[in-house]
């Protein structure tokens, strides 16, 4: 597997490579591969070089280096970046230059990370395939005829194709974990409140969370360490101490109680996914974990509850895009007409569908029947987990019912919504969730296992994930990307 955060920081500290050299390599590789992959919406070559030079200078002067010094990182394009175009995958924000950096971006910069660009996503994070980006679809590095998953599809594809060392995504209902699974990389959705949402373009504020997408579990721990922690600018950010996530990574699974929820292993799971998960469960058992049969009885209500709560919050969050303060404006005969034209032209069909669903659910007289009831279901789902965690330390499930699917395969919106059936509950309950590659289907597509943990117990997820990753070593270059790599006699060879 190509460079991890651990490799890069070590090589930079040892003087084996320069940050500027890494930036050169990254942009050369992006130039060759990304025109065919479509992972990036914007690149910041100038900013990246500037940071790289500063790091190389600091190193030559023997100044202390940050924990991500010289590491090329990509950001999902719903994380705002000062003076670097941020669109959230929507025409309505085309041309907007944010006046500030998101909290997580400030943290990355302070740690010495090199921000190389912004990655593609389904518009405002609404989707599971990156096909709903207003600009272009992203392709799956394992097979260019398949989707990379979504909504953080660009972030997952960029890491899998080695266009960057790591990336950040956001996860409202699965958008970090599902693309990580489809692209054979690691994705971590932290506990709600673990990472500040300040500067994250809001989709559904009570569900949204930022997290790392990386090549290894250790890298996910490293990146979470940098971005986690209290931020008074986000009222839901938890004022809780951040543990050392790397500490328990090597502890293995001996003595851990791992719960398998019956409701997640029923009909409708692709046989290749099922086989990879079964093998992983056997390996967990063989390495000393106790496998516990558990039940999360309200699982079947997660999807309908999510598709009320998320669109309701989205309809309210997206009210701010009115043609006045941000992005696109289409003039009209009067103010109302201008609003209508701007929103009509600026939002794509899926976003409009969500706004209509959400506005309907929040209508006077309907609030109790829809939003309030969905919130009550949410409490039941949370209670299921509380109960289950009295009997186990970690919950093990599929990330998604299928591996990566073909473009256009889920044209019906409900089929697309069903792609998230196993990831939504985690957000409704505010829990941490990790997606870790655990094997392949017969066709050679990566399969992810999902680990769900107690609130604030990312450490146990990372520990379990690190064990799974050791057995299911995914080290090859994704074959779709391999076909795009320059031949040795064609000049620039990516590092
Ligand atoms: N696919 C889900 C949705 O469309 C989840 C997206 C996300 O996590 N941002 O809402």
| Structural domain includes residue 353 | no
**Ligand 1 atom showing the smallest separation from residue 176 Cα:** 8
Compute, in angstroms, the gap from residue 52 CA to the centroid of ligand 1: 34
**Ligand 1 atom showing the smallest separation from residue 310 Cα:** 10
C-alpha–C-alpha distance, residues 160 and 85, integer Å: 24
Residue in this structure with the two tokens 């701007």, named with its chain if needed: 342
pLDDT at 490: 53
Band (pLDDT 50/70/90 cuts) for residue 474 is confident
- Kindly tell me if the per-residue pLDDT of 356 is higher than 90: yes
Per-chain mean pLDDT for the chain: 95
pLDDT at 141: 98
Host H or E run for residue 27: helix 19-37
User: What does the angle CA 308 – CA 395 – CA 128 come to, to the nearest 5 degrees?
Assistant: 40
Q: Which residue has the higher pLDDT, 298 or 486?
A: 298
Cβ of 128 less than 6 Å from ligand 1: yes
pLDDT at 495: 46
Average pLDDT over residues 356-371: 92
Average pLDDT over residues 341-357: 97
| Structural domain includes residue 288 | yes
Band (pLDDT 50/70/90 cuts) for residue 475 is low
Buried b (16+ CB within 10 A) or exposed e, 377-414: bbebbbebbeebbeebbbbbbbbbbbbbbebebbeebe
In total, how many domains does the chain have?
1
pLDDT at 385: 98
Tell me the HSE value of 470 on the side-chain side, using a 13 A CA sphere: 15
Q: At how many degrees (to 10) do helices 217-227 and 458-471 cross?
A: 160
Q: Which one of the listed residues 167, 175, 237, 342 is annotated catalytic?
A: 175
Told to judge if 487 belongs to the known catalytic residues of this protein, a careful annotator would answer no
- Kindly tell me if the per-residue pLDDT of 225 is higher than 80: yes
- Kindly tell me if the per-residue pLDDT of 10 is higher than 90: yes
Cβ of 172 less than 6 Å from ligand 1: yes
- Kindly tell me if the per-residue pLDDT of 354 is higher than 80: yes
pLDDT digits (tens, 9 = 90+) for 81-132: 999 999 999 999 998 999 999 999 999 999 999 999 999 999 999 999 999 9
Best residue among 150, 197, 207, 208 to mutate for probing ligand 1, ranked by most atoms within 8 Å of CB: 150
CATH number at residue 62: 3.90.1300.10
If you count them, how many residues does the chain have?
495
Tell me 364's DSSP state.
Answer: T
**Ligand 1 atom showing the smallest separation from residue 307 Cα:** 10
Compute, in angstroms, the gap from residue 485 CA to the centroid of ligand 1: 32
Give me 362's structure tokens.
């929040």
- Kindly tell me if the per-residue pLDDT of 491 is higher than 60: no
Band (pLDDT 50/70/90 cuts) for residue 387 is very high
**E-state strands within 215-272:** 257-261
Give me 441's structure tokens.
């289907």
| Structural domain includes residue 325 | no
Non-local CB neighbours of 58 within 8 Å, separated by 6+ positions: 64, 65, 69
Number of H helices, E strands in the chain: 16, 11
| Structural domain includes residue 458 | yes
| Structural domain includes residue 328 | no
C-alpha–C-alpha distance, residues 250 and 269, integer Å: 31
Its domain, for residue 126, covers 5-298+379-490
pLDDT digits (tens, 9 = 90+) for 146-201: 999 999 999 999 999 999 999 999 999 999 999 999 999 999 999 999 999 999 99
Told to judge if 76 belongs to the known catalytic residues of this protein, a careful annotator would answer yes
Told to judge if 128 belongs to the known catalytic residues of this protein, a careful annotator would answer no
Band (pLDDT 50/70/90 cuts) for residue 248 is confident
Average pLDDT over residues 74-81: 98
| Structural domain includes residue 220 | yes
**Ligand 1 atom showing the smallest separation from residue 127 Cα:** 4
Average pLDDT over residues 382-405: 98
| Structural domain includes residue 367 | no
C-alpha–C-alpha distance, residues 146 and 480, integer Å: 10
Judge whether 452 and 435 are in contact, CB under 8 Å: no
pLDDT at 143: 97
Cβ of 301 less than 6 Å from ligand 1: no
C-alpha–C-alpha distance, residues 152 and 148, integer Å: 9
pLDDT at 364: 84
| Structural domain includes residue 368 | no
């Amino acid at each position: 597997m190509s460079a991890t955060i651990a490799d890069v920081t070590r090589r930079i500290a040892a003087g084996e490579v320069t940050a500027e050299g890494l930036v050169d390599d990254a942009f050369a590789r992006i130039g060759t591969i990304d025109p065919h992959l479509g992972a990036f919406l914007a690149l910041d070559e100038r900013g990246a070089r500037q940071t790289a030079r500063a790091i190389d200078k600091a190193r030559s002067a023997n100044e202390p280096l940050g924990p991500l010094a010289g590491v090329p990182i990509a950001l999902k394009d719903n994380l705002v970046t000062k003076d670097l175009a941020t669109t959230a995958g929507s025409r309505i924000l085309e041309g907007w230059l944010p006046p500030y950096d998101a909290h997580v971006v400030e943290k990355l910069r302070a740690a010495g990370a090199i921000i190389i660009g912004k990655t593609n996503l389904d518009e405002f994070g609404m989707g599971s395939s990156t096909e709903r980006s207003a600009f272009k679809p992203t392709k799956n590095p394992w097979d260019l005829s398949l989707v990379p998953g979504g909504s953080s599809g660009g972030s997952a594809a960029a890491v899998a194709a080695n266009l960057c060392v790591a990336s950040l995504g956001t996860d409202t209902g699965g958008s970090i974990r599902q693309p990580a699974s489809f692209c054979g990389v690691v994705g971590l959705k932290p506990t709600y409140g673990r990472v500040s949402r300040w500067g994250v373009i809001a989709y559904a504020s009570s569900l949204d969370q930022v997290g790392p997408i990386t090549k290894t579990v250790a890298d996910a721990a490293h990146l979470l360490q940098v971005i986690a922690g209290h931020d008074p600018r986000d009222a839901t950010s938890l004022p809780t101490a951040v543990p050392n996530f790397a500490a328990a990574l090597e502890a293995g699974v001996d003595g851990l109680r791992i719960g398998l929820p019956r409701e997640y292993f029923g009909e409708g799971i692709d046989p290749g996914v099922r086989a990879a998960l079964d093998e992983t469960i056997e390996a967990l058992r063989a390495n000393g974990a106790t496998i516990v049969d558990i039940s999360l009885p309200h699982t079947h209500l997660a999807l309908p509850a999510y598709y009320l709560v998320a669109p309701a919050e989205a309809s309210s969050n997206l009210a701010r895009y009115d043609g006045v303060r941000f992005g696109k404006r289409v003039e009209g005969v009067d103010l109302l007409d201008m609003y209508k034209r701007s929103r009509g032209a600026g939002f794509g069909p899926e976003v409009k569908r969500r706004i209509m669903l959400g506005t309907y659910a929040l209508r006077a007289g309907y609030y109790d029947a829809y939003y309030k009831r969905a919130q009550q279901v949410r409490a039941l789902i949370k209670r299921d987990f509380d109960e289950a965690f009295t009997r186990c330390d970690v919950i093990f499930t599929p990330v998604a019912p299928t591996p990566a699917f073909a473009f256009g395969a889920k044209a019906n919106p409900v089929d697309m919504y069903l792609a998230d059936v196993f990831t939504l509950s985690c957000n409704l309950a505010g829990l941490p969730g990790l997606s870790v590659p655990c094997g392949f289907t017969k066709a050679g597509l990566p399969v992810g296992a999902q680990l769900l943990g107690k609130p604030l117990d990312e450490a146990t997820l990372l520990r379990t994930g690190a064990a799974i990753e050791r057995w299911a070593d995914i080290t090859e270059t994704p074959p779709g990307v391999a076909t795009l790599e320059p031949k040795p006699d064609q000049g620039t060879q990516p590092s």
